[in-house]
Amino acid sequence: MPKLTLRPRSTSGSTTPNQSPSAAPKAQGSVKAPGKPQGAKPYGAKPQGAKPYGAKPQGAKTQEPKSQGAKTQGPKGARPHGGKPQAKGPWARSNENGPKHNFFRKEVAADGKVKSFSTTQEERRTERHAERASAHSPDAAEGKVIALSPQSHSKMVKNSVGLAAGARSRAAAALIVDAVSDGVSLSEAFPRHLQGFDERDVSFIKEMVYGTLRQRRLLLNTLKPLFNYKITERHRIVQALLLVALYQLTFMRVPVHAVVAATVSACADIERKGFTSLVNAILRRFLREGGQLLHSDNEAIDYSFPDWLYTKLKESYPERCRDILQHSNEKAPLFLRVEQSKTTRDAQLAELAAAGINAQACALYSGAIELESALNVEHIPGFAQGRCTVQDLSAQLTAPLLDLESLPQGSRVLDCCCAPGGKSAHILDLNPGVSLTALDVDQNRLKSTQDTLARLGRTNVMLKALDATKLEELNGTFERILVDAPCSGTGVIRRHPDIKWLRRAKDIAALAQVQAAILDAAYEKLSPGGLLVYTTCSILPEENEAQVQAFLARHPEASLKAFTLGTQSYTTLQRLPGDDHGDGFFYARFVKPV
């Protein structure tokens, strides 16, 4: 065993002059510090002989090294990141010589893949505070980093179990709103993004989506001073998430802390985790400054309508424009149409009352019922059994205009644009003995008609996928023809708020051309003495009154046939959104001379 040489300890605690403790030579065979292998260099040590950064000149007085485990202070001038070299932490400089605000973050996802997120120095500073706060929470043991301010972190810990689902629902709503901005209709976007959610979550998501789209321009006007970013493809989904959050904070009865926490968490679900601190800061600033919507003197912004549509409505209905805007932004009521060939309205009302559902009969049509509040159709007595169906009051007024009761058995009736099948079913309810042909240009929409008719037990109908401008393929003529023409849908915006953002001004002229072509083709198939009903769910004159006058100019032998609704008689009728709680609809009837 080699001989040990022991160095006596100085009573003053000082070292040999001109020599620091770290630089003191070790005697051969000296005892090494426990726990470190022989020859191992200390973490971050410089190469042998290298002068340490910020070292004192030789001969300068140095301090006694601190005891093992104590925190040491780095050399003067050094700025360690949390006591460790910056390159070793989750955040690293993207370019050592680049701008100081460029950072990227590397994180390991659940699938083992490494993802990088860029952010600014200010965002990094904000998130560091959240990381430090979360380090003391129970979630820290599971590796979770909650990007909230320290003040709100405790609330999120308490609700961490429920927030996962809340974040997913907010993310789904944002993705759907963003899809509409991409030109995707809600009928396409909902099935794409609602998979895996239960009935309650679906209802909540739809409420957020419908409301955000109804109030979109007003919400954007409110967000603009808070989110001062040029909207790029990368930012747009974040903007949609913030709009959904603002709608909840201003229009829904959702706890404020739940909205903020779930929205912040949803950044990860929309793959924008780098915006977490920014979203948190924007929402908290909005609340700190009063949490109020920023209204505008511009009615188009305040009622969230595109400028072109607002201008058309103002020109067409100067006295009722504001009412139209207001009703178009309201939640639409739920109407039922009773299949009167199977039951009576009184019997249906009794079933509803027995189920605890408040409803009332509508005066304008003998089979119409309005529910006090909307609910899932699965809970409506008689719906699954085909004794009633959901149909707006204004839509229910269409089929009776065909005067079907006077037709003999086997009379031919044509529904040119039948999807989703509500009016076709109504025709067969009014006269089950007619021979009905129902057309639609879209095969998928024709399938919805088939489903509606099957649920109501209406099988005596011929369904055909056909363009209604090319009716020469059909044999013979028809005693009654319904043209429920494709239109702008401006009368049903409250049920389909995406219409406001999908329609363009140039679409109206193109739709008017299609409507005229369908009317001409249908009139050619109308039997002498037959009746043709023209209807749209639009409130724009170009598609309605102007269309009627243009048709009569092309076919001077045709004439309008008046009809009665309630106690009044009309040759044409334009109903606006909110009239008798119904949608906006237009009706006209043409007769072909014998």
pLDDT over 50 (residue 308):
yes
Query: Average of pLDDT values for 152-177?
Result: 68
Residues 452 and 553 in one domain: yes
Query: Average of pLDDT values for 198-205?
Result: 94
The reply to whether 537 belongs to the active site is: yes
Range with lowest mean pLDDT among 49-63, 291-305, 472-486, 555-569: 49-63
Mean pLDDT over each residue of the chain, to the nearest integer: 81
Residues 429 and 453 in one domain: yes
* Per-residue pLDDT at 476: 96
Residues 492 and 370 in one domain: no
Q: Pairing between strand 435-440 and 412-415?
A: parallel
108: which strand partners?
Answer: 114
Contact status, residue 267 vs residue 279, Cβ threshold 8 Å: yes
Query: Average of pLDDT values for 517-521?
Result: 98
Q: Positive or negative CA dihedral for 322, 360, 490, 523? A: negative
Q: What is the CATH number of the domain that holds 171?
A: 1.10.940.10
Close Cβ partners of 41 (under 8 Å, ≥ 6 residues apart): none
With tokens 């485990």, the residue in question is: 69
Query: Average of pLDDT values for 426-436?
Result: 97
* Per-residue pLDDT at 96: 38
pLDDT over 60 (residue 580):
yes
Q: How far apart are CA 380 and CA 388, in angstroms?
A: 9
Residue 200 lies in a domain: yes
Residue 293 lies in a domain: no
Residue 345 lies in a domain: yes
pLDDT over 90 (residue 444):
no
Written as one letter, the residue type at 77 is: G
Residues 274 and 407 in one domain: no
Interval 94-127: pLDDT, tens:
333 433 344 444 444 445 544 444 444 444 444 4
Residues 161 and 102 in one domain: no
Q: How far apart are CA 382 and CA 393, in angstroms?
A: 19
Query: Average of pLDDT values for 73-86?
Result: 43
Residues 354 and 303 in one domain: no
Both tokens of 189, joined, read 């976007």
Range with lowest mean pLDDT among 40-54, 377-391, 536-550: 40-54
Q: How confident is the model at residue 397 (pLDDT cuts 50, 70, 90)?
A: very high
Residues 417 and 566 in one domain: yes
Q: Is 114 left (phi over 0), alpha (psi -120 to 50) or beta?
A: beta
Q: How far apart are CA 448 and CA 444, in angstroms?
A: 7
Residue 193 lies in a domain: yes
3-state secondary structure of 203: helix
User: 307 lies in which domain range?
Assistant: 299-328
Nearest to 342 by CA among 458, 452, 434, 422: 458
Residue 385 lies in a domain: yes
Q: What is the CATH number of the domain that holds 442?
A: 3.40.50.150
Residues 168 and 268 in one domain: yes
Torsion angle defined by CA atoms of residues 200, 201, 205 and 207, in that order, rounded to the nearest 10 degrees: 20
Domain count, the chain: 5
Q: What is the pTM of this model?
A: 0.73
Q: How far apart are CA 344 and CA 411, in angstroms?
A: 26
3-state secondary structure of 570: strand
Contact status, residue 320 vs residue 576, Cβ threshold 8 Å: yes
Residues 531 and 583 in one domain: yes
* Per-residue pLDDT at 507: 97
* Per-residue pLDDT at 227: 85
- C-beta atoms surrounding 328 within 10 Å: 29
Residue 167 lies in a domain: yes
Which alpha helices (H) appear in 186-275, and where do they start and end?
186-193, 199-214, 216-223, 233-251, 256-269
Give the burial class of 490: count Cβ atoms within 10 A of its Cβ; 0-12 exposed, 13-18 middle, 19 or more buried. buried
* Per-residue pLDDT at 320: 97
pLDDT over 50 (residue 130):
no
Residues 418 and 271 in one domain: no
Q: How far apart are CA 70 and CA 266, in angstroms?
A: 41
336: which strand partners?
Answer: 369, 390
* Per-residue pLDDT at 160: 41
- C-beta atoms surrounding 465 within 10 Å: 13
Query: Average of pLDDT values for 382-387?
Result: 96
Close Cβ partners of 296 (under 8 Å, ≥ 6 residues apart): 218, 221, 302
Residue from 267, 362, 416, 537 carrying the catalytic annotation: 537
Q: How far apart are CA 95 and CA 578, in angstroms?
A: 60
* Per-residue pLDDT at 235: 83
Q: Pairing between strand 335-338 and 388-390?
A: antiparallel
Residues 245 and 202 in one domain: yes
* Per-residue pLDDT at 164: 52
Query: Average of pLDDT values for 46-66?
Result: 47
**Hey, which bits of 449-520 come out as E strands?**
461-465, 478-484
Contact status, residue 159 vs residue 152, Cβ threshold 8 Å: no
Residue 371 lies in a domain: yes
* Per-residue pLDDT at 463: 96
Nearest to 241 by CA among 270, 215, 210: 270
With tokens 């199977």, the residue in question is: 342
Residue 184 lies in a domain: yes
Residues 196 and 305 in one domain: no
Who wins on pLDDT, 188 or 67? 188
* Per-residue pLDDT at 53: 44
Q: What is the CATH number of the domain that holds 368?
A: 3.30.70.1170
Task: Among 7-11, 67-71, 139-143, 348-352, name the most confident range.
Answer: 348-352
- C-beta atoms surrounding 79 within 10 Å: 6
* Per-residue pLDDT at 231: 65
